[in-house]
Structure 1
């Protein structure tokens, strides 16, 4: 089984994914606008330019995916604290790089520190409202 996080935004997908690409590197494997989909002729220009689907590989078996909502199609975005993306890098250095890069401009909940359960861990909300955990445990690499 593979698990791929899928993120929804209200017109911020392109900005968010360009930011994530600047941290993770790589290239988008898909980047489609709403105007590319059939039946979207009635959308206004701003909605036509929103992201229908975007994919960014962020690891060997993980692809970060996302899209924008389209209010005129009945979509509603509800941001909450029920979803985190948990990253498990292969070194403390990579954990720090990811944490520092992705948390830039965001809100740090727990800074990267050695934790009582034995892991090097931190959590934050990025500048786009997405919640992340970075967890390194040398026993699992």
Structure 2
């Protein structure tokens, strides 16, 4: 059995420095650490925080993966999800920072307000907050 203490998403992007800037504008993310590749514009690693949540990112290095890019070039099966106080505001802030709204905030049958965006690096993010009970 693996005794993990937490699960930390690690995104691969094309344009790590731009991604750090985007996530700061879109989600208020702050960089706990950023490790650039010496003599390059690429990032080896970035540790980002949204409140007490963390996620990592790095630039795509196809030369380390048999020439295959790991950054998304289309829809992916992975979704980053954030519970937020206000879905409409979160989506608007992400869109203003450069995200594409793929599902506008909608009251859902399961009792949440929910919506989705795709960031400029191809990753899908969803947001939810519970609907008020009458």
TM-score between both structures, scaled by the size of structure 2? 0.78
Task: Give the structure with the larger strand fraction.
Answer: 2
- Return 5+ residue gaps in structure 1 as ranges: 36-44
Aligned pair partner of 2:107 in 111, 114, 120: 114
Is this contact kept in 2: 1:24–1:58, CA < 8 A? yes
TM-score between both structures, scaled by the size of structure 1? 0.75
Aligned pair partner of 1:18 in 17, 21, 30: 21
Provide Cα deviations, 1:15-46, integer angstroms capped at 9, x if missing partner: 011111123335311100122xxxxxxxxx5x
Q: Which residue of 1 aligns with 2:13?
A: 9
| Distance in 2 separating the partners of 1:26 and 1:81 | 22
**Alpha-carbon deviation of 1:132?**
0.7
Provide Cα deviations, 1:61-101, integer angstroms capped at 9, x if missing partner: x1121001223333522524211101001x22xx2222112
- Return 5+ residue gaps in structure 2 as ranges: none
Task: Give the structure with the larger helix fraction.
Answer: 1
Q: Which residue of 2 aligns with 1:127?
A: 120
Is this contact kept in 1: 2:48–2:54, CA < 8 A? yes
Alignment: residue pair count? 123
1:74-113 matches, within 5 Å, as: 74=65, 76-79=69-72, 80-89=75-84, 91-92=85-86, 95-104=87-96, 105-113=98-106
| Distance in 1 separating the partners of 2:30 and 2:130 | 28
Q: Which residue of 2 aligns with 1:54?
A: 46
Is this contact kept in 2: 1:13–1:67, CA < 8 A? yes
Aligned pair partner of 1:72 in 43, 47, 63: 63
Is this contact kept in 1: 2:13–2:71, CA < 8 A? no
Q: Which residue of 2 aligns with 1:39?
A: none
